[in-house]
Structure 1
């Protein structure tokens, strides 16, 4: 039976007048919880306040994250609200894999779901999207109670909240947590830093006395990438900073362009690290940094969650759903046009295929001013 929508305060709404009723109770007799959140690294981070709220409301329950391979790498050996991670295969409409990786067949999906169904979840929560595909996957688990968001036309779980565009993801998932009797107490994500994280980072970037600035120029969607030479120029304006430019193997050209921009302004070389950091090592390096400069990306979210100040450039689309919600230690620059640098197609109008920046119209002087302001505050 479908329950009525639930507000962020964890209260049901009367169908006609929207008058708050009693707070939503927890689900009784819950021993095993599944949470579907199989998308990007930053997507998991922004959902952490809601996950922690579920943990607090169900302290004795085991929480299984149905997540992505990088979630497993991130959470292994790290204190978190999650007890274990089960990696979701590439399912149509529910995947965190490159498009070159084919979707699993129905037979393969059934084989993956079967042991989870036998395992037996008392509560299954969909924190993955509008529910058109994800709620159907959730139903395959045959949990005693389901919860999730639902866009118009999507299947509705037992407890659900409406999925609408342009709502911040952290607030969205906090509302969903409230729908299962787990109201969240904060909006800032947190991520624990371990001794292994720090050791792994020090193996690649040794300790030094100078304050550390990390520049990360990459992003899953190339349209979110600010022109790299400008990021280098901004980093070079920070007096006394030791600058490290980091990226994965696929970011090698972006890292090189940041280094060129830094060289042009500063007349010296930054340290560049391409593909040499493990995910724990990246967490450790971001935690050691005094400032992180970059784009809307997973590493920016991780930096914020480990308590490091950030300066980042966002498109107007991503500002609404994943930008940091506070500004004391985070500076957000926004491209209000958000159009491809080659053809001008805006990010919400479709994919043009150019893979060019859609944040190029943000003046470098604005980014530099934000970085200098935060740098002075940090120092």
Structure 2
């Protein structure tokens, strides 16, 4: 249901203080808020990487406040409460509207209410504190759509459901310094994911890359260097490893120059899509529901229907159950052939077909 616009809004605070993929899923809602209040200043309450990456970048965010460690808000670690001096500095900004699109609200809704905004809006799981305007927080619901529901509470209207991200001249310069000029027809492979259970085996990424008659770059963070090198070592053709040598801006510029990105469900997959590059990605079914591509015209998810741990049988769909300790892949039922089918089809649709 569309909510009424809030009168006299000049300053908006939005809480979304997590990783790159999480931020990108929220971009359509941020754009909807900016469209509803074009004269207002939109401040993202985020973390250090948000400030570094978004400052000066065209988009709906006008400025970023870097939050200190706060449990359930800017860190997963327990024991960090929001210092009163932080809340006081935020109150001094005189926010007219404070929006919570960070989670179910157990920790974040009390924090949002401490900011002193005239109107608060956001998500609310059972038992969480109410805001002035709120929508429920069910477990299985696409994140982008739930954030757009929050924006709608205060008059925000979507103009597209997939995130968009501007690549800047500084991003291109970073890419040129670290990588040089990307070759034509480049395909990127990204074998990492924060949760090991979401990782497709490196040998399968290598097999897919070998079957492309194209230059291949294998990307990852510094912590994912072993995965990157594992794909390169398993390939029979040469590939270029890029592990920890590019920041987010340089990685965005690299993906923008690729014909296709093949990945797990991870932030870089969202980054590639946001800069306009087609993607093929391996998804565990629950993550597909909450964070998969909404449009499949240029983005093709391959779905693993595994719902229990391959080792002990613990449920993966009971989100309130304790996580079992096993980190084996839950997505190995996705075949190389099914991935290659989508790779071929997308490259053909995009007019970028190679030989495989």
Counterpart pick for 2:293 among 324, 331, 336? 324
Structure 1 position 282 matched with structure 2 position 255: no
Identify the range of structure 1 (301-310 vs 369-378) with the bigger mean alpha-carbon deviation. 369-378
Alignment of 1:212-223 (within 5 A): 212-223=186-197
User: What corresponds to 2:327 in structure 1?
Assistant: 355
Q: Name the structure 1 match of 2:226.
A: 253
User: Any unmatched runs of 5+ in structure 2?
Assistant: none
Tell me if the contact between 2:293 and 2:299 (Cα under 8 Å) persists in the aligned partners: yes
* 2:66 is aligned with 1:93: no
8 Å Cα contact 2:99/2:120 also seen in 1 = yes
Alignment partners' CA distance in 1, 2:312 and 2:337:
24
Q: Alignment partner of 2:42: what SS?
A: strand
Following the alignment from structure 2 to structure 1, what is the Cα–Cα distance between the partners of residues 308 and 199? 12
Displaced runs of 4 or more, over 6 A: none
Secondary structure of the 2:317 match is helix
C-alpha RMSD over aligned residues: 1.7
Residue 320 (structure 1) shift? 0.6
Q: CA deviation at 1:346?
A: 4.2
Q: Which residue of 2 aligns with 1:313?
A: 282
How far apart are residue 87 of structure 1 and its match?
A: 1.7
Partner of 2:42: 63
Cα pair distance change 1:217/1:204, threshold 3 Å: same
**Displacement after TM superposition at 1:340 (Å):** 4.1
Q: 1:66 is paired with a residue of what secondary structure?
A: strand
> How many residues were matched structurally?
348
Structure 1, unaligned runs of 5 or more: 1-6, 11-23
Quote the Cα distance in structure 1 between the aligned partners of 2:182 and 2:102.
41
Q: Which residue matches 1:299?
A: 268
Q: Deviations over 1:63-99 (max 9, x none)?
A: 11001222222212210101111122222222346x5
Q: Which residue of 2 aligns with 1:230?
A: 204
- Give the Cα–Cα distance (whole angstroms) in 1 for the partners of residues 308 and 336 of structure 2: 17
Find the counterpart in structure 2 of residue 47 from structure 1: 26
The residue aligned with 1:25 is 4
Output the CA distance in 1 between the equivalents of 2:160 and 2:330: 31
Aligned to 1:115: 89
Of 351-360 and 83-92, the range deviating more from structure 2:
351-360
* Secondary structure of residue in 2 paired with 1:312: strand
Quick one: which of 177, 192, 216 aligns to 1:243? 216
What displacement does 1:338 show? Answer: 4.5
Match in the other structure for 1:21: none
Is 1:268 aligned with 2:237?
yes
Q: Which residue of 2 aligns with 1:132?
A: 106
Out of 320, 332, 336, which is 1:364 matched to?
336
Q: Does the 8 Å CA contact 1:68/1:96 hold for their aligned counterparts?
A: no
Change over 3 Å in CA distance of 1:248–1:209 after alignment to 2: closer
| C-alpha distance in 2 between matches for 1:374 and 1:338 | 28
Instruction: Please tell me whether the aligned partners of residues 238 and 375 of structure 1 are also in contact (alpha carbons under 8 angstroms).
Output: no
